[in-house]
Amino acid sequence: MVLVIADDLTGAAELAGIAYSYGLNTALVTRVPEIAPECDVLVVASDTRSMSEDEAVSVTHKVCRALLALKPASGSASQFPTILFKKVDSALRGYVVAELQAFLSEMPQQKVLYMPANPSHNRIIRGGRYFIQGVPIDNTPFANDPDFPVTSSSVCLQLGITAHSGIIVADAEDEADLQRCIALAEAQKALLAGAADLFSALLKRLGHVPCKSVKGADSGVLDENGPTLIVCGSTMSTDLSRQPFVQRRKLPLSSMPRSVFDGEEGTAEWMATINARHLTKSSMQPANNGLVLNIPFESSKTRQQALRLRNTMAEVVAQLVDKLKPTELVLEGGSTAFAVAKALHWSRFRLTQQISPGVVRMESLDSPGTHLTLKPGSYPWNHLFE
Answer whether 290's CB lies under 8 Å from 249's CB. yes
Task: Note whether 187 and 245 are same-domain residues.
Answer: no
- If you write DSSP's letter for every residue of 133-160 in order, what string do you get? TTEEGGGSGGGG-SSS----SBHHHHHT
**Which of 173, 205, 237 represents a domain boundary (last residue)?**
205
| Structural domain for 279, as ranges | 228-384
Q: At what angle do helices 334-344 and 303-324 cross, to 10 degrees?
A: 50
The per-residue pLDDT for 219 is 46
**Which of 166, 190, 205 represents a domain boundary (last residue)?**
205
Angle at 100 between CA 206 and CA 51, to 5 degrees: 120
163-177, 349-363, 368-382: segment of lowest average pLDDT: 368-382
Task: Note whether 151 and 244 are same-domain residues.
Answer: no
Of the pLDDT bands very low, low, confident and very high (cuts 50, 70, 90), residue 222 is confident
Answer whether 308's CB lies under 8 Å from 256's CB. no
In 259-306 the beta strands, taken as DSSP E runs, fall at: 290-295
Per residue in 290-316, pLDDT tens?
Answer: 999 999 887 666 778 888 999 999 999
Task: Note whether 182 and 245 are same-domain residues.
Answer: no
Strand 348-356 and strand 253-255: the pairing is unpaired
What average pLDDT does range 94-105 have in this prediction?
95
Nearest-angstrom CA–CA distance, 196 and 175 = 12
Residue 39: count of CB within 10 angstroms of its CB: 20
Residue 278 Cα to chain centre, angstroms: 30
Nearest-angstrom CA–CA distance, 348 and 307 = 23
The per-residue pLDDT for 379 is 74
**Which of 205, 238, 270 represents a domain boundary (last residue)?**
205
Residue 287 belongs to domain with CATH number:
3.40.980.20
Handedness of CA 180, 182, 185, 189 (dihedral sign): negative
Answer whether 47's CB lies under 8 Å from 341's CB. no
Task: Note whether 267 and 119 are same-domain residues.
Answer: no
Residue 220 domain flag: no
Q: Partners of 28 in the beta sheet?
A: 43, 349
Angle at 14 between CA 13 and CA 17, to 5 degrees: 80
Per-residue pLDDT for 80 more than 80? no
Task: Note whether 317 and 247 are same-domain residues.
Answer: yes
Task: Note whether 17 and 163 are same-domain residues.
Answer: yes
What residue type is assigned to position 140 of the chain?
T
Nearest-angstrom CA–CA distance, 333 and 70 = 29
Per residue in 138-156, pLDDT tens?
Answer: 999 999 887 899 999 999 9
Closest CA to 278 of 319, 235, 224: 319
The per-residue pLDDT for 333 is 82
Task: Note whether 99 and 175 are same-domain residues.
Answer: yes
Query: How many domains are there within the chain?
Result: 2
What average pLDDT does range 316-329 have in this prediction?
96
Per-residue pLDDT for 74 more than 90? no
Task: Note whether 237 and 139 are same-domain residues.
Answer: no
Nearest-angstrom CA–CA distance, 162 and 158 = 11
The per-residue pLDDT for 237 is 61
Residue 44 belongs to domain with CATH number:
3.40.50.10840
Nearest-angstrom CA–CA distance, 52 and 303 = 10
Per-residue pLDDT for 235 more than 70? no
Q: In what order do the strands lie in the sheet with 129-132?
A: 123-126, 129-132, 135-136
The per-residue pLDDT for 357 is 80
The phi, psi pair for 340, rounded to 5°, reads -65, -45
Nearest-angstrom CA–CA distance, 325 and 290 = 9
Task: Note whether 197 and 239 are same-domain residues.
Answer: no
